[in-house]
Structure 1
Amino acid sequence: MIDSNKLELELNRGISFQKKGENLKAKNIYLEILHKNPHHPDALNLLGTIFQESADHQKAISFIENAITSAPDIADYYSNLAVSQLAIGKIESAYLSCSKAVEIDQTFPIANYNLGNSLFAMGRADEAIKFFKVAIDLEPSNDKFWSNYLFALNFRSNLDNQEVCDENCRWGNIKRNKNAETTRFVNSKETNRPLRIAYFLPELDQHVTPRFLKPILSNHNKAKFVVYIYGYTNKGKPQQFLTKGPHIWVDIKNMRERDIAQKIRSDRIDIFIHPCTFKTRYRNILRYKPAPIQIAGINLVSTTGLEETSYLLSDEITTPYGSSDKFFTEKLVRLSQFNVFGPSGNLPKIILSPVFKNRFITFGCFNNPTKYGKQCISLWSKILLKSPKNKLLLKHRAFENTEVRNFFTKQFVHNGVNETQLLYSGYTQKTAKYLEHYNLVDICLDPIPFGGGTTSYEAVIMGVPIITLLGDSVMGR
């Protein structure tokens, strides 16, 4: 006979190990419980989350689905299931799982957050925002909730710059560091010395910011500036141009933000430039005032909402004079050009536009499909309906998944587009091979209201013109 009390004690022991990051010990305990009771729902669910943490999402799904079979009324199980479904591109399945979790428990913060994530992945930003807000109302200090909520605001179909500013400031007030005002700096006040500049690159393997930073680093005046880069990768090693060269690389992996700020202050940095404030979880370092002057620039979508940020780099197009300043807590510094971009590696040969061979126009978009909202697809459908011969190539790693392709195909077909007009391409590992796909495109279409960034530069480099619709926000301009 199974002693349920003993199993409960063992389960709690496994949970304790898992919370401490000792997943192997936790896994063995859960497996032992399942050996005694193969249908133990909590052990199945928790074992699934361990596989989830190691990115083995197929196994995670299998175990969590078995947990649901054993106990079909636990919101946590459905929410956990959705995380793995979303990770492998099963966006509609994730949406259904999250919806079930919220149906069971509307006050479950993480379920509302995950439902927001699944809606956002489907290009339904307006609906996603509602659930991110619910999650924040239930758990106001959760940075993860705030990060995705504030980012999603920039995708609204009826985007409101004042709302974006106000909500970023609301987050900033919650996170405000009262000690920042009394921070003491020991920087030299000598006027004829080189200034010390620092760039901050957290999780630099998870975003494209280094590609925008590369040409800047190679053009710094070495007589006037000493350049530091504080950063880390989640996997692998940083690119050589970051760790080698005249600048100083400082690896800050596994350091707390407070300690990073202290390290930067001890290095007597004069100007701290944060090149990736597009996610709020990357902005937290600014709260600790690591340098006397703090600047946001390069990869950003809005104000930082933090009083500790002194300036924000922009240009006249991105933030027009007279109408934009009120939406920023920072003083805007408008440069002649806001961003520069450096292509990585050797570029493939640019060939003649394919329309001359095909006798029809191939439009293309290589952006993340989260940008393909209802408004965007409706506009693109009208373009395709002008001529049934014309085609649209959509390229992104998400289109490796059949469910994702089918989801977006249905939306175009609903607007009257023939399925044969849609072409999909998934992940291409090598940069040169990836860029070659631009040779298949005559004209790139820019998504709305959140326009392209990296992909727009790539298209121009490969000689492909872009049709865009000028918006009112930073990412619409």
Structure 2
Amino acid sequence: MNNPSRNDPCPCGSGRKFKHCCQGKQVSTAPLAGVAVADLLRRATAAYQAGQVSAAEQACHQILQKQPRQTDALILWAAIHIQMGNFVVAQQAADKALQYRYPHPAAAEEIIGRAWWGMGQPDKALVSFRKAIRLDASRIECHFNIGGIGLLKGDLETAESSFRYVVASLPQHADAWTSLGVVLRQQGRLQESMQLFQQIVDRFPAHMAALHELAKVAQLKGDMRVTEQAYRLALAKNPDDDVALSSLLFAQNYRQDLTPLEKYEAAKQWGQHLSDRVHLRTGKAYKQWKVEENPSRLRVGLVSGDLRRHPVGYFLENVLPHLEQDQVEVIAYTTYNVEDALTLLLKQHVVVWKSLVGLSDREASALIHDDGIHVLIDLAGHSRHNRLALFACRPAPLQVSWLGYFATTGLPEMDYVLVDRHVAPESEAGLFTEKRYLLPDTYRCFKVPDEDIAVNVLPALTLGRITLGCFNNLSKLNVSVLSLWVRILESLPEARLLLKSSQLNALDEREAFYSYLQSLGMDTARVELQGSSSYEDYLKAFHQVDMALDPFPYTGGTVSIEGLWMGVPVLTLSGHDMLSHSGENLLCNLGLQDWMASSTEDYVASAVKHAQDWTALAQLRATLRSRCEHSALMDGPRFAGHWQAALWQLWHTRQKQVDMLKMSDGPGLSSVS
């Protein structure tokens, strides 16, 4: 095998061509012990360049046995182990190379940075990357990684400048262009971001990440046509793209032109397709498990990428602390390695916390199977960071969907979905491939906010006019919703409308949305648009609102209960599936059925009626917080008791079925101690 050619990428990892980097430089500070070592080094380098990692590792190992201080071999050894995911080994090898005076310290520092990042230590990685560019400012991948850490930590200014440096230096760096688009999206510069992603897709048609990001930003802008086109193009390029197909199903929840049955059929088709493909790729699903058939307490696994400041995290915060530890033990499997203060709190209420990030579906399912889980719960459905594919491997004997999604997963291996009678009535049982289990009262439980913010008096009494509000994601505000709101404002000449959303952070986004509202006939002089704010200021913003308007069919959840907590009632349109019933779940538990409209005409009439009765609004505002506190919606201990009782009942039902199969000498499904 030969050395890298002049135009090959340099093996030191700089991102530059060999001829512009290490060609002609001293290869090691330790003299080679004859031709054999030199040949091994050439073979190891060539194998690494060809992607033959195992062969490269073997050759490198032989070199280091002969010459432990051979710095080129140490750096190559480190690079090999970065690729293998052995980050500690990589970091130690690169450190040794520096101790032995490796002549390219910037390359060594870059590898150390990559190792630290791989070990989940972004702050230490940042130190190494910055050392590297102080030694050699032209190391492109260091700038790219600094941008990535900035993006991870929310330092968008650093991220943007780093990615712009990379694309200016290396215009063909598709990942840097895509990351720059992500930064623009997170800065609220949605139109810029969308235009950039469209350019990236045209310029780098094989770059799948750009297609996914284009779909995401289009969804944020409410352009579901572009969103679906992007995901369908991704699927045309790669039919096995689980994320694109799952995201497409999620995006279709925003559409009014699809019936609940059509959405169900699409999910069912996807679920069977995924199940078949996973079994083809990884083998058949488990049929035996390492669990006790008659346990004294259930081992319950939670699979989620939202164990943090996210609605799922907030809901769990009022459930996990109230579980009886002698009845259930909870094991958390995170699918997204971003943590915050809420993550640390949740960790206190689980017995084990494991990351599935970087594991294949078979590896992740084997890990869960070996943990002896009785009940495995999916908390994502088709939302981001889901790992539905591992459920197709059936690593647990009982698998349940709950909380993080609002429709069927469509997966045949998902046994149950935890719901309530308000969001999944008997008449809609056919919209789930899973069996429904109806929790009493509510399928979710909210925690009282830590922020001590009092409910104010009805703003209309001070301002002399009514203020309607909606703080939901703008993507939910489709033409039908906004057209009804136009009619409501026309019927209430003095009323104002306040919309608050992160999509309105940038001035150009607010101006574009004002133009959109005008095109629908809305008097924008009566509309105020606000961007995102701190959570405390977000709650205080409800002080400006007399009553809230719920969008449809994608109704509010967390936003609605936060408004109710702040004394703001919400008018919702009764729906025809779990997604559109969300508001009903809240209002029925608070005894506010008169805030549930039966049709679009009733929605307009009810909005006008409630908005004109300031006395009733003021009285309701004064009592809503107490209603919330004393309802099942915020009774953590009560809900936790129902939740763990449900899991036990499901387990006992399963065991009865297993016993019946054994008695009939059927093949059955079994547990092994």
CA 1:73 to 1:228, structure 2 compared with 1: closer, same or farther past 3 Å? closer
User: Which of 242, 246, 251 is residue 346 of structure 2 equivalent to?
Assistant: 242
Provide Cα deviations, 1:408-461, integer angstroms capped at 9, x if missing partner. Answer: 222112233343322233333344x43222222111111222111111111122
Whether 1:340 and 2:455 are equivalent positions in the alignment is no
Whether 1:54 and 2:54 are equivalent positions in the alignment is no
* d(CA) in 2 for partners of 1:12, 1:171: 44
Whether 1:396 and 2:501 are equivalent positions in the alignment is yes
* d(CA) in 1 for partners of 2:456, 2:129: 56
By percentage of residues, which structure has more helix?
A: 2
Q: Where in structure 1 are there 5+ consecutive unaligned residues?
A: 36-42
TM-score when scaled to structure 1? 0.82
Indicate the SS of the match to 1:389: coil
* Alignment match, 1:39: none
User: Which of 291, 299, 319 is residue 216 of structure 1 equivalent to?
Assistant: 319
* Alignment match, 2:329: 227
CA 1:171 to 1:92, structure 2 compared with 1: closer, same or farther past 3 Å? same
Whether 1:133 and 2:232 are equivalent positions in the alignment is yes
CA contact 1:49–1:80 (8 Å) conserved in 2:
no
Provide Cα deviations, 1:104-144, integer angstroms capped at 9, x if missing partner. Answer: 56665444333322221111223311221111121222333
Whether 1:252 and 2:355 are equivalent positions in the alignment is yes
Matching residue's letter, 2:13: R
CA contact 1:377–1:411 (8 Å) conserved in 2:
no
* d(CA) in 1 for partners of 2:230, 2:513: 22
CA contact 1:10–1:29 (8 Å) conserved in 2:
no
Correspondence 1:259-270 to 2 at 5 A: 259-270=363-374
CA contact 2:301–2:332 (8 Å) conserved in 1:
yes
* Alignment match, 2:486: 381
* Alignment match, 2:554: 450
User: Which of 286, 289, 294 is residue 394 of structure 2 equivalent to?
Assistant: 289
Indicate the SS of the match to 2:13: helix
| CA drift at 1:94 | 1.9
CA 1:104 to 1:234, structure 2 compared with 1: closer, same or farther past 3 Å? closer
* d(CA) in 1 for partners of 2:496, 2:551: 16
TM-score when scaled to structure 2? 0.60
Matching residue's letter, 1:205: R
| CA drift at 1:476 | 1.3
* Alignment match, 2:521: 416
Provide Cα deviations, 1:354-399, integer angstroms capped at 9, x if missing partner. Answer: 1111111111122222223333333323323334532222223343
Whether 1:88 and 2:192 are equivalent positions in the alignment is no
Provide Cα deviations, 1:325-362, integer angstroms capped at 9, x if missing partner. Answer: 33322111223322222223154211211111111111
CA 1:73 to 1:291, structure 2 compared with 1: closer, same or farther past 3 Å? closer
Provide Cα deviations, 1:185-228, integer angstroms capped at 9, x if missing partner. Answer: 1322237x2333333343412631122223333443555x2221
CA 1:189 to 1:410, structure 2 compared with 1: closer, same or farther past 3 Å? same
Structure 1 range deviating more: 366-375 or 63-72: 63-72
* d(CA) in 1 for partners of 2:487, 2:6: 64
User: Which of 538, 542, 555 is residue 438 of structure 1 equivalent to?
Assistant: 542
Structure 1 range deviating more: 283-292 or 86-95: 283-292
Matching residue's letter, 2:9: L
User: Which of 293, 298, 308 is residue 413 of structure 2 equivalent to?
Assistant: 308
Percent identity for Structure 1 against Structure 2: 23
User: Which of 320, 338, 352 is residue 457 of structure 2 equivalent to?
Assistant: 352
Correspondence 1:2-21 to 2 at 5 A: 6=6, 9-10=9-10, 13-15=13-15, 21=114
* d(CA) in 2 for partners of 1:414, 1:11: 57
* Alignment match, 2:97: none
Provide Cα deviations, 1:121-174, integer angstroms capped at 9, x if missing partner. Answer: 111223311221111121222333234222111111313333433333344334
CA 1:354 to 1:264, structure 2 compared with 1: closer, same or farther past 3 Å? same
CA contact 1:199–1:273 (8 Å) conserved in 2:
yes
User: Which of 564, 578, 589 is residue 460 of structure 1 equivalent to?
Assistant: 564
* Alignment match, 1:370: 475
* d(CA) in 2 for partners of 1:268, 1:107: 41
Indicate the SS of the match to 2:289: coil
Matching residue's letter, 1:301: F
* Alignment match, 1:157: 256
Give the CA RMSD over aligned residues: 3.6
CA contact 1:122–1:373 (8 Å) conserved in 2:
no
* d(CA) in 2 for partners of 1:430, 1:62: 28
CA contact 1:119–1:128 (8 Å) conserved in 2:
yes
Provide Cα deviations, 1:240-296, integer angstroms capped at 9, x if missing partner. Answer: 552335x52424365635455444434433222223324264233423323211111
CA 1:59 to 1:348, structure 2 compared with 1: closer, same or farther past 3 Å? closer
* d(CA) in 2 for partners of 1:446, 1:376: 9
| CA drift at 1:67 | 7.6
- Larger Rg: 1 or 2? 2
CA 1:333 to 1:353, structure 2 compared with 1: closer, same or farther past 3 Å? same
Structure 1 range deviating more: 357-366 or 21-30: 21-30
Indicate the SS of the match to 1:382: helix
* Alignment match, 2:98: none
| CA drift at 1:305 | 2.1
Q: Where in structure 2 are there 5+ consecutive unaligned residues?
A: 16-48, 50-78, 84-113, 116-124, 582-673
